[in-house]
Chain A
Amino acid sequence: DVKVTQSSRYLVKRTGEKVFLECVQDMDHENMFWYRQDPGLGLRLIYFSYDVKMKEKGDIPEGYSVSREKKERFSLILESASTNQTSMYLCASSPARTSYEQYFGPGTRLTVT
């Protein structure tokens, strides 16, 4: 079974703090993704990575950065958290071929106060 784990299920941070969200997958997948999920807006892609140290912007990258130093780990960084970044964050991974499904982690609900 593919397993995608995220470091925290719930996180509360203050405005201006630097926030790290970690994602680890155990199936040697090349691709990893970060999404945010908000009511009525569905899943929106923030960044994705198709190889170690390789990344590509998604649809809403502003205010976020990512790091992928090892194949199994993909980190999302909020450089200076703001209240409009309060959301559910989902990580996913998939094999290299584009016709394969994405496997999602359980999500991190981040609240910025």
Chain B
Amino acid sequence: QQPVQSPQAVILREGEDAVINCSSSKALYSVHWYRQKHGEAPVFLMILLKGGEQKGHEKISASFNEKKQQSSLYLTASQLSYSGTYFCGMRGGATNKLIFGTGTLLAVQP
């Protein structure tokens, strides 16, 4: 079952903050976040591992609540370049397989 992302879409002005949430009905081992700009391939942003280790982007932060099976991506002081569709991918065990959410469309306006 796919993770649920919220909101489905959000429009911001430059400099505003945004939070994108991702939740799963299954126990999680790690959460991956990707951004896809229009017409381009998804690009890796961040991995959050069970136990708290985090690897990824310096200007974007995220949290991972293992007990609630939820993750949130925090975009602060948004820039025009942040526009795109954000996907969370969740891994439920010792597997290389990710189950991706349905995506959150973020549009940053001047």
CB within 8 Å for A31 and B41 given contacts A43-B87, A98-B30, A101-B32: no
How far apart sit A8 and B16, CA to CA, in the bound complex (Å)? 39
Is the CB–CB distance between B96 and A59 below 8 Å?
A: no
Q: Does B67 contact A (CB under 8 A)?
A: no
Stretch at the interface among B58-66, B76-84, B97-105: B97-105
Contact partners of B40 in chain A: CB under 8 A: 106
Interface size class of B (residues with CB under 8 A): 20 to 34
Supposing A43-B42, A102-B44 touch, asked if A59 and B99 sit within 8 A by C-beta, the answer is yes
With A99-B49, A104-B43, A105-B41 in contact, is A42–B100 under 8 Å at CB?
yes
Q: How far is the CB of B37 from chain A (nearest CB, A)?
A: 12
Selected from B44, B55, B94, the residue in CB contact (under 8 A) with A98 is B94
Restricting to A57-110, which residues have a CB under 8 Å from any CB of B? 58-59, 90, 94, 96, 98-107
State in angstroms the CA–CA spacing of A69 and B91 once bound together.
27
Given contacts A99-B49, A104-B43, A107-B41, contact A42 B103 (CB under 8 A): yes
Binding site for A on B (CB under 8 A): 2, 5, 29-30, 32, 34, 40-44, 47, 49, 55, 87, 89, 91, 94-103
A50 and B94 CA atoms in complex are apart in Å by 13
Q: A42-B87, A99-B47 are in contact. Are A58 and B97 (CB under 8 A)?
A: yes
Q: With both chains docked as a complex, state the minimum distance between the C-beta of B58 and any C-beta of chain A, in angstroms.
A: 15
Q: Measured between alpha carbons, how far is A59 from B32 in the docked complex, in Å?
A: 18
Which one, A31, A90, A98, contacts B42 given CB within 8 A?
A: A90
